[in-house]
Amino acid sequence: MKKVLSIVIIAGFIAAMVSCHKNTDAPAGATKLVLPATTARYYNETTQYSNPSINEKATLGRVLFYDGHLSLNNAISCASCHKQELGFADNIRFSTGYEGRLTGRNSQSIANLSGQDTFFSNNFIANPSTPLFWDGRETSVKNLINRPITNHIEMGIADASVLPGKLSALPFYPPLFAKAYDGDSTITSDRISECVTAFLISIQAHNTKLDKYLAGDNTALNSMELQGMKLFTDKYNCEGCHRVMSGQYFMSGFIDIGLDENYTDIGNGAVTKNTSDYGKFAVPSLRNIALTAPYMHDGRFKTLDDVLNHYSHGIQNSPNLNEVLRDYSTNQPRTMNITESDKKMLIAFLNSLTDYNMVSDPKFSNPFKTN
């Protein structure tokens, strides 16, 4: 009896997930926009910003983020590939974009976008952040949205200047722009990207077990997780690149971790044109890592276990392999030989980096509901 019930619940859950995806993928005409009566609080206006109506801008950004009208065929929204329940990443190796085109790399989690150091400054939206994308080809979130042809071809929009006209024809946009811009309902590319940026940067995950532990709650991590933490910081020095303990979660710069002896994707090398940067990719944030499989820039690893097997004994002798991942004496790729019990503890620790509030927070969810 109990078994049957749980199967029904799981079936219902899957059906709900499927319909939710349909929602974001379907033409927005088939859906209805539902926003809360009072503007949700994305930012604390008085202490964080002097940017007027920042919460109204983020609200509008949420609508744009989930709206298929931002793509040429009205079918692909940002959320098609950046799904809230998956830490704003995608659960397949390459995501499907405009007309079935596949992305060249694995979708990135866009929570806690890098550049959070400048995040709390007044002019964050004007401020370029640290390099974006796996290869660092863009530095400013705002430009990233404004330059779809060079940076985000998945939506089929070659020229971002066509969007304002297109969105003006949808009845719900002019009032939302008026709210965000002091009564002025004009839609411009600049405003579109400012609002999407305001929404993106508001997506912050700071409510993990590790955050609680670092804030002084000694009971937040259990003994497995604590042992995993020690292995992460000391024995295997993952912290050397993934700066989890400092709360920063990333490290600037690009690194070759020896995935392939011969590069199939030169990564940052295509941006700098230096052969010494070939095969180097951004150090990913490990926040919500339990939700963002598959892993690496090309999504080659299905599980965290696969990732640990790479560090354990899979590192290849690639030309630009980071020195930390080389054996000092032999100059050969390091073999960490991570034991099965160490793996369990490391994975327990990695699982403690999930913020379940963020992935279920209604203010980050799809505002389009099917009728």
- Letters for 261-290 (x = contact with ligand HEC by CB under 6 A, - = none) are --------------------x-xx-x--x-
Segment lying near ligand HEC (by CB under 6 A), choices 106-114, 119-127, 162-170, 203-211: 106-114
- Judged on CB neighbours under 10 Å (0-12, 13-18, 19+), 365 is middle
**What is the Cα–Cα distance from 225 to 219, expressed in whole angstroms?**
11
User: How big is the chain, counted in residues?
Assistant: 371
Name which of 136, 163, 107 is nearest 270 in CA terms: 136
Considering the rule CB under 6 A, would residue 257 count as an interface residue with ligand HEC?
A: yes
Are 322 and 240 within 8 A, CB to CB? no
* Alpha-carbon span 54 to 60, nearest angstrom: 10
Q: Output the smallest distance, CB 1 to ligand HEC, in A.
A: 40
Question: Mask 147-186, x = binds ligand HEC (CB under 6 A)?
Answer: -----x-xx-------------------------------
- Decide if residue 129 touches ligand HEC (CB under 6 A): no
77-95 in b/e form (b: 16+ CB < 10 A) is: bbbbbbbbebbbbbebbbb
CA distance between the termini of the chain? 34
Taking CB under 6 A as the criterion, the residue among 54, 78, 201, 353 binding ligand HEC is 78
In the region spanning residues 315 to 334, those forming contacts with ligand HEC, defined by CB under 6 A, are 322, 324-325
HSE value, Cβ hemisphere, 13 Å, CA-based, for 304 = 17
- When asked if residue 221 is in the footprint of ligand HEC (CB under 6 A), the reply is no
Residue 255 found at the interface with ligand HEC (CB under 6 A): yes
Residue 231 CB, shortest distance to ligand HEC, in Å, is 8
Contacts of 106 (CB under 8 A, 6+ apart): 89, 90, 93, 94, 134, 294, 295, 296, 297, 298, 299
Q: Does 240 bind ligand HEC (CB under 6 A)?
A: yes
CA distance 129 to 234: 30
**Cα 37 to chain centroid, rounded:** 28
- Considering the complex, state which of residue 11 and residue 86 has its C-beta at the smaller distance from ligand HEC: 86
Q: Is 103 in the site for ligand HEC (CB under 6 A)?
A: yes
- Residue 11 or 149 having the CB closest to ligand HEC: 149
Count of residues that interact with ligand HEC, criterion CB under 6 A: 53
Would you say 28 or 81 has its CB closer to ligand HEC?
81
By CB under 6 A, name the binding residues for ligand HEC: 70, 76, 78, 80-82, 95, 97, 103-105, 107-108, 110, 113-114, 132-135, 141, 144-145, 152, 154-155, 196, 200, 236-238, 240-242, 255, 257, 259, 281, 283-284, 286, 289, 292, 295-297, 304, 307, 311, 322, 324-325, 346
